[in-house]
Structure 1
């Protein structure tokens, strides 16, 4: 059966950017359809950080209490353990926000909350298990919607005044629209894996020395991110042995847990880091936001924050337009101009951070200059708190 949907805006991707944009448009009376290829949001090794700026947005939306009713943990300072010496990298306690913490929550819980709030609105539609395939064009070559595949394999056509691609860095629709990102070589990749959590067991959030490892304390298990040089993992047993040996230099306790767990290569998931952005985020009838417009490094967990800020700016600029007409390329250009500067600043800082994240030193080696500076002048961590917690240009609903 051929399904045909008409809507004001079709959003591809039910991630943080796509669902947040869908919610913001629908609450302002814009008919919006979000197309998500999965049946649910239960995918592991996604960003779990909810930044203070995002929590400010949730306060404006009346959703913060709903968020905090779900299992979560808060962090007022980001600290790094350098061969056992603690250094504060980011201090959120002085931010001009109501919630001066970074909150950790499985991304599927956060997305479920946003989807639940959006689905209570009459102008919101979420198509799950529906895969966006190609753009549709009119006789003049303008994009007027997308084709998709329904859960039963049937064809779906969604026509809209605007297509927003929020489907991530590997977007097929973006490629079909003729938009190609400019890529900057990333120096690092990240290995993700789980470890069982035993009673009373804990590890510092960030540990560094012979490389860097991040430990996220979940209920019942630890989620581990280990930073490695780009291209150095091929998934062999030798790679796994080398990882365990290197981790023992950073965190002997963590290495013991890995030995006890009996970790295998199939338990380790590789994230190939990409730093890239589109030179032009839009074409006639389509706008890219989030990772579809600018793939970020996981450093600082700021990619989610940037994606949500993109959604806020998109809604603020385009709601008045979408209510009455099809956005022009000039309308779409305003969104890109607003969001380009924070993306450029953030990617530049992330590129600069790649060296320290990959640095290897033995116990007793001198602490890097930046860490020594932060130890000597702890107030400098407030700058890091502002960059991580708010971003280069935080957006407001109005």
Structure 2
């Protein structure tokens, strides 16, 4: 039974980076917007904490860079590919684009809290925590709102002109709205854990390949390393079945900096698996409803680019939604303008991720054996530099209405 009803212009489902940015921008231009977050707070780990140079370019356009860079963060200026302990090639963020010569590492709860704080400055912004969506409301083929279950189990009906699904790769809005996938690619899983950062490590992003598994290591604010082990699809289940000892031995031999962590292992509780999956929704909009971010175009962890792409889509969506509200036309045709603007670049990046993922997550002994030579050869050609720029740098600025730019 519905306990209460409220009315808004826009409902944003999902309080991640894309949802919070969209809510902030719409509130800035006076749209009555509410963000719904299914969890009690912003606490989350291993969720897109690397913000690539393209994200900084976007912050420059919005004039939010100074505000965001006041937050606790690390700057990643270098990266490298290793075969065991031998460096095979460098990634140099400082040479990619002068205005953004580094990537940022910001814990996601800190970033989200900062966007929330900024959004609360505007009277048309509202947010509900512990508010999972249970139902989409529809009338005459148009989505008109949602029903959420509050913490006290009471149902709340929220009506709106536009409902936006920004609720991640396992989107409830995508499921309830019957949106179909155009494609998906799932080569394996990244198994994350964190260790104390060795003093000699520095602020370097590292990709490490071996004849066994591959590894990603990222400096994690303030003094940790975040480590991801790349397992081919279905191998994680087999690893769990075999027990902790084999996995502990592999980590022990992967890097001497992991020894203390490996020696302390008695079970799999310190590990967090993440599907290295990308997908694209066939059509991102229906009348009165739009998907953005991972709900529409999930990126794999390869390249640590997902948050940057999702937030860029949110900025484009803010402009499209605002225009749709002013014209009183929230049809699928109008809202799909977001997809028309964003899909080409995202599909291109997905193709790069798919090729890299096939190499990184391979179970083939032959491919594992030749990987070091493939990587070494790639670094000696202009191709790798081109791929880096496509992943990490925006080719051209996003078209942003002046009303969304922050003066201070």
After TM superposition, list the pairs within 5 Å mapping 1:121-140 onto structure 2.
121-138=122-139, 140=140
Q: Deviations over 1:27-79 (max 9, x none)?
A: 12222111111121111111111122222222333332222222211122321
Aligned to 2:270: 267
* Kept after mapping to 2: 8 A contact 1:195/1:261: no
Give the gaps of 5 or more residues in structure 2.
402-408
The CA deviation string for residues 284-325 of structure 1, in whole angstroms up to 9 with x for no partner, is 110111111122211001111111111111122231222341
| 2:309 pairs with 1:332 | no
**Corresponding residue of 1:322:** 325
In structure 1, the partner of 2:190 is: 190
Q: Look up the match of 1:310.
A: 313
Q: Is 366-375 or 91-100 further displaced after alignment?
A: 366-375
TM-score where L is the length of structure 1: 0.90
Flag the 1:33–1:97 CA change in 2: closer, same or farther, 3 A: farther
| Deviation by residue 1:266-289 (Cα, 9 ceiling, x = unmatched) | 221221232222111111110111
Q: Quick check: 1:35–1:127 contact (8 Å CA) kept in 2?
A: yes
Instruction: Name which of structure 1's ranges 217-226 and 154-163 shifts more when overlaid on structure 2.
Output: 217-226
Distance 1:388 1:127 in 2: 34
Q: What does residue 297 of structure 2 align with?
A: 294
Q: 1:112 to 1:387 in 2, by over 3 A?
A: same
* Counterpart in the other structure of 1:141: 141
Report the equivalent of 1:39.
40
Written as runs of structure 1 = structure 2, the 5 A alignment for 1:228-247 is 228-234=231-237, 236=240, 238-247=242-251
Most deviating of 234-243 and 118-127: 234-243
Separation in structure 2 between the aligned mates of residue 395 and residue 60 of structure 1, nearest angstrom:
8
Specify every segment of 5 or more residues in structure 1 that has no aligned partner in the other structure, as ranges. none
- 1:160 maps to what in 2? 160
- SS of the aligned residue for 1:397 comes to coil
- For the pair 1:90 / 2:107, whether they are aligned, the reply is no
1:356: how far off? 2.1
**Given the superposition, is the C-alpha separation of residues 305 and 73 from structure 1 closer, same or farther in structure 2, using an over 3 Å criterion?**
same
Q: What are the superposed Cα offsets for residues 71-120 of structure 1, whole Å, 9 maximum, x if unpaired? A: 21112232122222223453322334522111111111111111111111
What TM-score do you get using the length of structure 2 for normalisation?
Answer: 0.88
Within 1, Cα distance between the matches of 2:68 and 2:251?
34
In the aligned structure 1, how far is the partner of 2:131 from the partner of 2:214?
38
Indicate the larger mover: 223-232 or 24-33: 24-33
Comparing 62-71 with 297-306, greater Cα deviation is found at: 62-71
Count of aligned pairs between the two proteins: 394
Structure 1 residues 279 and 228: CA distance shift in structure 2, 3 A: same
What is the CA deviation profile of residues 214-268 of structure 1, one whole-angstrom value per residue up to 9, with x for unaligned ones? 222232433221111111012636253333344455x331442333333521221
CA distance in 2: counterparts of 1:106 and 1:49, whole angstroms? 8
- Contact 2:275 2:300 (8 Å CA) reproduced: no
Moved more, 365-374 or 66-75: 365-374
Q: Give the SS at the match of 2:30.
A: coil
Q: Is the 8 A contact 1:346 1:392 kept in 2?
A: no
Q: Does the 8 A contact of 2:16 with 2:167 survive in 1?
A: yes
* Aligned-pair CA distance for 1:14: 0.5
Confirm or deny that 1:277 pairs with 2:265: no
Single out whichever of 108-117 and 169-178 deviates more from structure 2: 169-178
